[in-house]
Chains A and B, each alone.
Chain A
Amino acid sequence: MAKASTGTLYRGREGMWSWVAHRVTGVGIFFFLLVHVLDTALVRVSPEAYNAVIDTYKTPFMAFGEVILVAAIAFHAFNGLRVIAVDFFKGGPANQKKLFWGAMVLWLVIMVAFLWRHIPNSLGGAF
C-alpha cells in the first residue's frame, strides 16, 4: 500500500519521539525477558549451570548491559505512566509535554541513584 512521498524524517516533537523510544524499549525488554526467563529456568537444571550463566552477568561488560536494561525499563515505565495519565486524566493531553519532561527528570534521578549503587557494585566485583 502506498505510503511515503519522500524519505525525509518527520520532525515530530516530544510526543512522537517518546513513543518511538517507548516502542524500542518495550520490544527490547520483551526480548530480554524471553532470555531472562530461559536463563532463570536453568535453576531447574543445576545450580552450576545457573551460577555459570549468572556469573556472566557480573562482568563489567554485562554491567554495562544492565545499565542499559535498567535505563530502558525505567524509561518505559515512567513514560508508560505518562501515557496512562494522558489517557485517563482530564488535564493529561494538555500537559503531555510537561508530563514527559517530568518523567524524564524522574528517570534521571532514578538512573543517578542506580548508577551510584551499581558502578561500585559491579566494578568492585570485577577487580
Chain B
Amino acid sequence: MAENTQAAEPASKIDLPASVGGEAGGIPSFQVTAKIARFDPERDSEPHWEEYRVEMHGTDRVLDVLHKIKWEIDGSLSFRRSCAHGVCGSDAMRINGRNRLACKSLLKDFQKNPTDPVEITVEAIKGLPLEKDLIVDMEPFFQSYREIMPFLITSGQEPTKERVQSQADRAIFDDTTKCILCASCTTSCPVFWTDGQYFGPAAIVNAHRFIFDSRDEGGDMRLEVLNDREGVWRCRTTFNCTDACPRGIQVTKAIAEVKQALLTRTLA
C-alpha cells in the first residue's frame, strides 16, 4: 500500500497575514504599444509592421492585448489560441524577440514600474512557412514528430493488469512528458532555421520520452532515426530551445541524453 502522504489535519482557523491575495486586487492600468508583424496572403507579398495602442491592466497577458486588438480595433488580426493558460500549445509566437506563449507572457514582466507604458513586438515563429499574420504551417513540425514513432512499442503478450514501473523508472522521463507540442523550441533553434530539415528539439524531446520509458521496446528504432544526418548530431547546444520552452523542460539535457544513449549503443 502506498505511504500516506497526507499532511496532518490543518488548523480550523488561522491568522492571515495582511498581505494575502497577491495581485488579485486592483492594479492600475497602463498603455501598451504593440508592434505586430502582419501578413495577409491574399494581399501582401511580404509581412509588414503595424502598430496598435491599447490600455491594459496588471494581470493581463500578451494574448489579452491581441484579443483586445482583434475584438475592438481590427478583426482581421489572425492568431491561434485556445486554452489561454499555457497548456494547449496553440499560441507560440515571437514576443520581443523570443519565442513564448502569448497566454503566458505577462505584460508586467516587460515593465519596471506598475504604471509604465509597455512596448511589445509580436511576430510569427520562425522557420515554418508563414500562412497569415501570426499563423504558420505546423505540418512540417508534426511530420518530424510522427517520424520518431511517438507511441509505446512493446512485444509479447499484454499483461492483464497494468505494466509495473518503479517510481524511479517513472521519474527518468518525467520531464519530457510535459511537452505540449507548441513548437517554441524547434522554431527558436538556429539549426532549424537554416534549412528546416533538422528534426528539431521537440521531436527529440518526444523521442526521449519513449526511449527512456522502461516499458518501451522501440528505443533502438528511434535512436536509429535520430542517428540520421538531420538527427541529434545537428544540435549545436545553443540552448535556445531550453530557454524558450514554456513548460520548463530541460530540452538540451534531453537531447544530450539521447546523444549519450546513441554513443553507448554504438560504442559499447
Contact = CB atoms under 8 A, between A and B. Distances in A.
Interface stretch (B24-32, B146-154, B252-260): B252-260
Interface stretch (A2-10, A42-50, A51-59, A66-74): A2-10
Interface string B116-136: 000001011111111000001
B242 interface: yes
B240 A12 contact: yes
B143 interface: no
Contacts of A94: 250, 253
Nearest to A22: B236
B136 A86 contact: no
B210 to A, nearest CB: 20
Interface stretch (A13-21, A30-38, A106-114): A13-21
B256 A86 contact: yes
Contacts, number: 92
A97 to B, nearest CB: 8
A10 B94 contact: yes
A60 interface: no
A96 B239 CA distance: 9
A11 B96 contact: yes
A91 to B, nearest CB: 10
Interface stretch (B58-66, B187-195, B216-224): B187-195
A13 B238 CA distance: 9
A10 B238 CA distance: 12
A99 to B, nearest CB: 11
B230 interface: no
B97 A83 contact: no
Nearest to A91: B253
Interface residues of A, number: 26
A31 B200 CA distance: 30
A14 B239 contact: yes
Nearest to B124: A5
Contacts of B188: 10, 12
Interface string A80-107: 0001001110001110100000000000
A1 interface: yes
Contact of A5 (B96, B130, B238, B260): B130
A11 B238 CA distance: 12
B236 A19 contact: yes
Given A1-B195, A10-B240, A19-B236, 16 more contacts: A2-B130, A5-B37, A5-B47, A10-B94, A10-B126, A11-B97, A12-B188, A15-B240, A15-B242, A16-B240, A23-B236, A86-B237, A87-B259, A93-B237, A93-B239, A93-B252
Interface of A: 1-6, 8-16, 19-20, 23, 83, 86-88, 92-94, 96
